[in-house]
Amino acid sequence: MQRTEDLNIASIDLMPSPDEIKALHPLTDRAAETVVSGRRTIEAILDGRDRRLFAVVGPCSIHDPVAGLDYARRLRALADEVADALYLVMRVYFEKPRTSLGWKGFINDPHMDDSFRIDEGMARARRFLLDVAELGLPAGTEALDPIAPQYYGDLITWTAIGARTAESQTHREMSSGLSTPVGFKNGTDGDVDAAINAILSAGGAHAFLGVNSGGRSAIFRTRGNRYGHVVLRGGGGRPNYDTVSISLAEQALARAGLPRTLVVDCSHANSSKKPELQPLVMRDVVHQIREGNRSVVGFMIESFLEAGSQPIGDDPARLRYGCSVTDPCVGWDTTVEMLRESAGVLRQVLPGRSRS
């Protein structure tokens, strides 16, 4: 009989189950408290019960856990300083969708040498999230691989679905069962319809094929996630954080019968991937809030210890400490200025701001 399957598979390596990875780095009481408190806080912000805004701040991607934890400790201290106006969540991205080819992230290739030790990457990613949570700092990430949340979803406070995957049925079904609030980014062309349809889909019940904690195929039946919301990230070569774009997004949400809640991504097309423009985006949106905007509930900022980005090159050991290897970021000093300045304005506005 002729062979009919695995014709393009070079090899298959066994992967530890989610339970086995969790046994290596088990959830602690302190970490669980951080995660649960973080989720409840963001839910309250989305509901309008908490008048603060939340900000998902951190590197475009995690490639060096040491530098990442250095950043986390600094962000944790800053979080206390601005806590009356902004609730800070660390951006912890381990998976990177690629337009064609390139480094796919820490889980896929933790050594950045095409060795693709996914088993090691997954364990180290969970360890990193646990360390961040034990600092008392909540973490947000992008859900790209539908199996990955079984390995570390218990340590995530907020989840993003990217512009390339918001239209994916797989990701909409997965989002309906996630335990976190989920931000759906508008399409790469800037259109918000895909994100709105994703919110509607994820809000309903689904049944789909997945992998359980023991590593076995299973049928997942979800209740639906009522904390979906739109993330405006620009697209089609244009930003969409201006007053007209935000008003149009509000109208589209209202027509769909959804709450008018928006998060503005200060990076990506909204800043033309120029990190020096991220402070201008945030300043503009904060001004809109001061002038009466009621729909914006959060921000995303790509930020690391050092400004800019760097190529991985042939020797990862020679990379500059604390500098992104994917999209360029604002540096730490600029991050502090952005958050302090925004908190200063919001403190004057939030007591009288109503989401109704």
Model confidence, pTM: 0.97
Q: What per-residue confidence (pLDDT) applies to 314?
A: 85
pLDDT band at residue 67 using 50, 70 and 90 as cut-offs: very high
The pLDDT value given to residue 96: 80
Of 112, 82, 80, which is closest to residue 96 (Cα–Cα)? 112
pLDDT in tens, 221-280: 999 999 999 999 999 999 999 999 999 999 999 999 999 999 999 999 999 999 999 999
Q: Exposed, middle or buried, 314 (CB in 10 Å: 0-12/13-18/19+)? A: exposed
Which structural domains are found in the chain, ordered by start? 18-351 (3.20.20.70)
178-236: pLDDT as tens digits: 999 999 999 999 999 999 999 999 999 999 999 999 999 999 999 999 999 999 999 99
**Cα dist. 17→123, 135, 151, 211, 263 in Å?**
11, 27, 8, 9, 34
- The distance of Cα 16 from the centroid of its chain, to the nearest Å, equals 25
What is the distance between the alpha carbons of residues 86 and 37, in angstroms, rounded to a whole number? 15
With 70 as the cut, is the pLDDT of residue 356 above it? Answer: no
Share of the chain above pLDDT 70, in %: 99
Q: What is the pLDDT of residues 118-171, one digit of tens each?
A: 999 999 999 999 999 999 999 999 999 999 999 999 999 999 999 999 999 999
Query: Is a pLDDT exceeding 70 seen at residue 13?
Result: yes
Encoded tokens for 237: 């070569």
Q: Is 324 helix (H, G, I), strand (E, B) or coil?
A: strand
Determine the pLDDT at residue 102: 84
Q: Which amino acid is at 29?
A: D
